[in-house]
Amino acid sequence: METLLKTNFNLPGQTAVYHGKVRDVYTINDNLLAMVATDRISAFDVILPKGIPFKGQVINQIAAYFLQSTADIVPNWRLADPDPMVTVGYRCEGFPVEMIIRGYLTGSAWREYAAGNRVLCGVTLPEGMKENQKFPEPIITPTTKAAEGHDENISREEIIAQGLVSEEDYRQMEEYTRKLFARGSEMAAEKGLILVDTKYEFGKRDGKVILIDEIHTPDSSRYFYAEGYQERFEKGEAQRQLSKEFVRQWLIDHDFMGKEGQTVPEMTPEFCQEVSQRYIELYEHITGLKFQPAPSENLEGRIEKNLLDCLENLAE
């Protein structure tokens, strides 16, 4: 099955292109962005060598669903979805931090906690917590947004002191982050899921803080199944989850954590298909919609045609 690992378009008015970990982002006339969600998958800040069938479509369509569902909370960059794997929207000046919000002690936060650390990004964590335990209140643990390499944990105070974000803008980002997480948690609960943690990115356009990129997808979020959560937690068992964490765990089990000298384990077709099914499962769970796979032949040609049509319409 064909997967899309990279695009190389030359679009009308194109002034720049950026190939991120997952998305190829085209700047049009310094005013618009065309964001292509490829089938690439990354973990530990490393792009894995094989693509995941339909991953780009799943990510793009979940993001569109949530951007549309949260536009009453915060203005966002999205204008159109001309292809199942593409979003076109306004170009904003992005802030160099990512707003990570956590409702439960899990993942990297748990690994830090288990190592004895009780302060994460300037937030003091309660003593005596267990893995996957719910925090009394969600905590915000920002990271820097690195152009290359690893993002680094950073505190609210450091962000403001270093001038990465003004205090006024940071307060606005915090408020939006908490409101978005509350809405995402409500929407997840309606579908029998728990939104465990997630990240948001913001930028500025015309002096206003704008939500950019994507939200509440398995690339940026972790979900537990609500059914059985408490029982598993009390028994100290692993939670049943829909997220990329199982990919990270698979890599850890194969002695890979993105460190120098480590080799990515072989990604068999069966493993890639399993990951694909996990992504599709999350799409159907969180949206309540049946996933409709788009044709997978000549993905780059289809996307280019749809993008060109969209940009022509926007220019009229």
* pLDDT tens digits for range 101-151: 999 999 999 999 999 999 999 999 999 999 999 999 999 999 998 766 668
| pLDDT tens-digit readout, 78-115 | 999 999 999 999 999 999 999 999 999 999 999 999 99
Angle made by CA atoms 38, 43, 48, in degrees to the nearest 5: 55
pLDDT band of 271, cuts 50, 70, 90: very high
Identify whether the C-beta of residue 67 lies closer than 8 Å to the C-beta of residue 99: no
Please give the pLDDT value at position 241: 85
What end-to-end distance do the CA atoms of the chain give, in Å? 37
Alpha-carbon gap, residue 271 to 194, rounded angstroms: 25
| Residue whose tokens read 């505190």 | 155
CA distances (Å), 308 to each of 6, 63, 84, 88, in order? Answer: 18, 22, 14, 11
Q: How buried is residue 297: exposed, middle or buried, by Cβ count under 10 Å (0-12/13-18/19+)?
A: exposed
Alpha-carbon gap, residue 243 to 221, rounded angstroms: 7
Alpha-carbon gap, residue 117 to 199, rounded angstroms: 21
Alpha-carbon gap, residue 194 to 184, rounded angstroms: 9
Task: Determine the average pLDDT of the residues in 12-17.
Answer: 96
| Structural domains of the chain, with CATH | 14-92+267-315 (3.30.200.20), 94-246 (3.30.470.20)
Identify whether the C-beta of residue 262 lies closer than 8 Å to the C-beta of residue 43: no
Alpha-carbon gap, residue 176 to 135, rounded angstroms: 19
Q: What is the pTM of this model?
A: 0.89
How many contiguous H segments (helices) and E segments (strands) does the chain have?
Answer: 8, 17
Please give the pLDDT value at position 119: 97
Report helix, strand or coil for 286.
Answer: helix
Alpha-carbon gap, residue 32 to 195, rounded angstroms: 31
